[in-house]
């Protein structure tokens, strides 16, 4: 059930690995959790946190992607992906990289929106792209409704790539494959609905600064009770170091050989990694784009995190 003033599905997004139209026949359950992020903004981290809170065990019995599929992703035919979701009996927590205007909205589903400083997300994407297994990526295109090819590596400098990425249009028709990967575009699609009771914002930097309190906050959002005795082990299992050491079970679809190196999926996990790599002109473009396309409140939150009001 949706409300008249609820978010509306008005766009279709595609990329090398995903299609938003795969949500078309999704049938929600009242306690579903949809984990909403632009790429490299803490998606797997939030999936792991949800898994730990739902099952309340520090070790997963099967790969994280089996519990928490990326429905948009082309790794499976869409009917097979939906059948797997239907068969799940635990509380479902589903990953998406589709902006809100490309998603169906349900007022009895919880949306966890994870954001990150766009500069860090961009820097994290660089080794991520090199770690992908291109043969596995191309095999996924058999499940696609659109035509796509793996793009040739850019010959642009890192600076030029960043400036182009920051300026990409939010309109999929203009922005091409990058419109859904832009952190600014992605978070903007949710921001105007931040006061809705089922849409919640969590920032990567806040997870880094105080993982325990942020996990407790997520537990409260999801109305999950955790005994005092269990918290230390659950928090430890959600640390970057623990996830990296367990990459064969935690990295997205690692069991499908999507990555050259599963542990390489977890690169540095740091905030501020752009410092010293982006130049003054890049930073000026970054701030200009935020000034032109984001409210002061959104611009501040993207850079610093903190409570959303």
Would you name the residues annotated as active-site residues?
Answer: 97
Q: Quick one: which of 263, 269, 235 has its CA closest to 56?
A: 235
Check: CB of residue 103 under 8 Å from CB of residue 23. Answer: yes
Query: Is the C-alpha dihedral spanning 213, 119, 248, 140 positive or negative?
Result: positive
Does residue 306 come out as left (phi exceeding 0), alpha (psi in the -120 to 50 range) or beta?
left
Q: How far apart are CA 227 and CA 89, in angstroms?
A: 23
> Could you tell me which residues come within 8 angstroms of residue 29 by beta carbon, excluding any fewer than 6 positions away?
92, 109
Q: How far apart are CA 64 and CA 56, in angstroms?
A: 14
The 8-class DSSP code of residue 141 comes to: G
CA 17 to chain centre: 13
Q: How many CB atoms lie within 10 A of CB 22?
A: 24
Q: How far apart are CA 274 and CA 117, in angstroms?
A: 10
Q: How many CB atoms lie within 10 A of CB 202?
A: 23
Q: Where are the beta strands (DSSP E) in 116-192?
A: none
């Amino acid at each position: 059930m949706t409300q008249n003033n609820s978010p509306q599905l008005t766009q279709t997004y595609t990329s090398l690995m995903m299609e938003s139209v795969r949500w078309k026949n999704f049938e929600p359950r009242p306690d579903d959790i949809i984990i909403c992020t632009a790429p490299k903004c803490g998606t797997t981290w939030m999936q792991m946190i949800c898994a730990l809170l739902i099952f309340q065990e520090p070790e997963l019995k099967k790969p994280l992607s089996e519990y928490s599929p990326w429905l948009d992703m082309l790794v499976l035919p869409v009917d097979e992906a939906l059948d797997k979701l239907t068969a799940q009996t635990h509380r479902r927590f589903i990953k998406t990289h589709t902006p809100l205007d490309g998603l169906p909205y349900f007022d009895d589903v919880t949306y966890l929106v994870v954001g990150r400083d766009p500069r860090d997300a961009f820097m994290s994407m660089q080794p991520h792209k090199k770690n992908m297994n291109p043969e596995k990526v191309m095999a996924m295109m058999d499940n696609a409704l659109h035509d796509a090819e793996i793009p040739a590596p850019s010959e642009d400098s890192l600076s030029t790539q960043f400036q182009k990425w920051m300026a990409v249009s939010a309109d999929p028709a203009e922005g091409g494959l990058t419109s859904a990967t832009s952190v600014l575009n992605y978070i903007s699609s949710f921001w105007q609905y931040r006061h809705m009771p089922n849409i919640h914002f969590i920032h990567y930097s806040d997870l880094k600064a105080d993982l325990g309190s942020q996990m407790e906050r997520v537990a409260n959002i999801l109305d999950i009770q955790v005994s005092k005795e269990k918290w230390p082990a659950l928090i430890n299992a959600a640390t970057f170091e623990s996830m990296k050491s367990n990459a064969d079970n935690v990295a997205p679809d690692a069991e499908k050989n999507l990555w050259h190196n599963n542990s390489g999926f977890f690169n540095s996990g740091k905030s501020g990694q752009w410092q010293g790599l982006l130049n003054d002109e890049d930073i000026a473009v970054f701030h200009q784009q935020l000034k032109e396309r984001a409210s002061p409140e959104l611009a501040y939150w993207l850079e610093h995190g903190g409570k959303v009001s």
